Structure 1
Amino acid sequence: MNHDRGMKKWRAFASMPEQYIGLKEIINKQSEVAQPVLTEEQMEHANFTLIEALHTNKQVYLTYYKQGQCTTETGFIQFVDSLGDLFIFIDDVFELKNKVRLSELIDVCLA
């Protein structure tokens, strides 16, 4: 009698999950970008926009640097601490609180 191995014969490399983890790390490393450096004027503009959005409760578009990637999200500013280098915003999609350092902020504009 002949027994067919079924899908096992097509899973030759799936027996090494470490390989997939390593490949994913390599791909993520290649897609990393350097954190942009903002001028003093750009930082002031971002700070004023954050404070305006906080007081008027307007929606903002935020672009920030996190783990080698530039991320853009929309949300509402809940808290700004200039001395503590921190702001908190609630994103539109999942309505989650996100803490971001002001030094990681790249751009902010009112929606």
Structure 2
Amino acid sequence: MEQMNFILIEVLHTDTQVYLTYYKRGQCITETGFIQFVDALGGLFVFIDDVFELKNKMRLSELIDVHLA
């Protein structure tokens, strides 16, 4: 969890692409894109996917893993 937190902070400041793995409707999904915003107090983050460039608002609790691309 601490490593994911460190990566989220780093990519926010460097606009680096990430591999993001999260739960959605009982499935484990991995996407490539950019983290645009993190609200740690609200437990939310905004992710822009690399394929369709759509903004996705997700809960931090759904996040499984984050790796630099």
TM superposition shift of 1:91: 0.4
**Deviation digits for residues 28-80 of structure 1 (CA, Å, limit 9, x no counterpart):** xxxxxxxxxxxxxxx11111101101100000000001110000000011000
Indicate the residue corresponding to 2:32 in structure 1.
74
Indicate the residue corresponding to 1:58 in structure 2.
16
Asked if residue 45 in structure 1 is aligned to residue 3 in structure 2, the reply is: yes
Give the alignment's TM-score, normalised by structure 1.
Answer: 0.61
Higher RCO structure, 1 or 2 (CA under 8 Å, sep 6+): 2
Identity %: 81
Give the alignment's TM-score, normalised by structure 2.
Answer: 0.96
Structure whose CA Rg is larger: 1
Q: Which has the higher helix share?
A: 1
Runs of 4+ with deviation above 2 angstroms: none
Gaps of 5+ in 2: none
User: What root-mean-square deviation, in Å, do the aligned CA atoms of Structure 1 and Structure 2 show?
Assistant: 0.6
Amino acid at match of 2:44: L
